A and B are shown apart, each in its own frame.
Chain A
Amino acid sequence: MLKKIFVWFLLAVLGIALYASFGRAPFGENRVGPTDNPATVSAFYLKNSAEKLQTANSVTAIVVNFRGFDTLGEVTVLFLAATGLASILYRKEDEDEEGEHLPVRINLPASSIVRTGAKILFPLILLLGIYIFVHGHLTPGGGFQGGSVIATGFLLMFITYRRFGTNHKVMVWLESLSGLAFVLTGLYGLIKYGSFLQNTPDVGHLNDLVSGGLIPLIYIFIGIKVSTELTNVLDTLMNIKPKKR
């Protein structure tokens, strides 16, 4: 009873404090300022994304180029979470009694409509995911979005078919190699141009497919890495052997 009163009081105080503290930042006010003479960081990024980097999507330019080191940190966090999840759920072979060696994921096969539809949709979903991360610098999208869409396509196949499995070794190698390629691209910038993840001086024209220097290349590596990583996470989770009751 005392805990309930305390929790309600805490929530009320927190709610009032949070809502009132945004009174100083009214909704819809222009806090960016003019982009000809940039006075804020946002105006500087907007101006240089079109002029210096010739990239159409300025959020991509910020994530990959201006703040590229934070993206390296994010890729590391995702990698640590996937590795931690696989190692926490690891089960030794002799801890389980004699179970069948086929992972029992679902008990009944899916109906024939679902099976046919999944077979048709799976290559289309893969194509959509690859389109999203290849065109990340021209339209809204990028490596993380495209990787998640590809992982959702693999999830559809895992749910529909009992014996669908991915080659675990190939996925692990692809993930490690693309992560390594991302770091090597940064080191290439360091060796050739002076600072880590520095872009090439020749960046092409705005709205071309090949524009923005190293930005589409980095996003392709991130897209491959995120898609194989999330597929591995789903594969680990769906292959938890059920307990014998």
Chain B
Amino acid sequence: MKEFQEIFLRYHALLQAAVYGSAVLLILIGLYAVLMKKHLVKIVIGLSIIESGVNLLFVAVGYISNHTAPIFSPGYEHAADKMVDPVPQALVLTAIVIGFATTALALSLVIRLYRHHKTANIEQLKSLRW
């Protein structure tokens, strides 16, 4: 047990960079797709990747090292001191479902726009400008 603690303390910087770094990189990659790409479906793909990154960041903040999942199985009824934070998990549950609803609605708008304007390039949808 004690050697686990010292291994964790030694590689702590690497772990923090791995988990927080991959969440922040996901957000940046999705943001690049939203800002620079021209095809409508590619923009919605970028939106979906941003949402995945944000959810990962949330759950990673709630993790406590060497603790376990917040479920009181039979035999672990008094182990409440050794449990991970349950509040970010409840938030992320809601956020994943709402992200899926947003993506579905955005894609239905893409289908409708293509049906009307016959193009899926945002630079050619000129009639939407003021």
Contacts and interface: CB of A to CB of B under 8 A. Distances in A.
Contact between A and B in the complex (any CB pair below 8 Å): yes
A112 interface: no
Contacts, number: 136
Contacts of B102: 81
Contacts of B72: 49-50, 56-58, 206-207
Contacts of B74: 207
Given A28-B12, A50-B80, A70-B94, A57 B71 contact: yes
Interface in B89-130: 89-90, 93-94, 97-98, 101-102, 104-105, 108-109, 111-112, 115
Given A28-B8, A49-B72, A144-B97, A22 B90 contact: no
A78 interface: yes
Interface in B1-25: 8, 12, 15-16, 19-21, 24-25
Interface residues of B, number: 50
Given A26-B16, A35-B80, A139-B71, A62 B87 contact: yes
A144 B93 contact: yes
Contact of A27 (B19, B31, B71, B86): B19
A50 to B, nearest CB: 5
A78 B71 CA distance: 27
Contacts of B19: 27
Interface stretch (A11-19, A176-184, A185-193): A11-19
A142 B94 CA distance: 12
Nearest to A26: B16
Given A46-B70, A88-B109, A7 B93 contact: no
Contacts of B64: 28-32
Contacts of B67: 30
Closest 4 CB pairs of A and B: A28-B65, A81-B101, A27-B16, A62-B90
Given A30-B67, A84-B108, A85-B108, 6 more contacts: A11-B32, A28-B64, A50-B80, A74-B94, A77-B101, A140-B71
Interface of B: 8, 12, 15-16, 19-21, 24-25, 27-28, 31-32, 35-36, 57, 60-61, 63-65, 67, 69-74, 77, 80-81, 83, 85-87, 89-90, 93-94, 97-98, 101-102, 104-105, 108-109, 111-112, 115
Interface of A: 3-4, 7, 10-11, 14-15, 18-19, 22, 25-32, 34-35, 41-42, 45-47, 49-50, 56-59, 62-63, 67, 70-71, 74, 77-78, 80-82, 84-85, 88-89, 139-140, 142, 144, 206-207, 233, 237, 240, 243
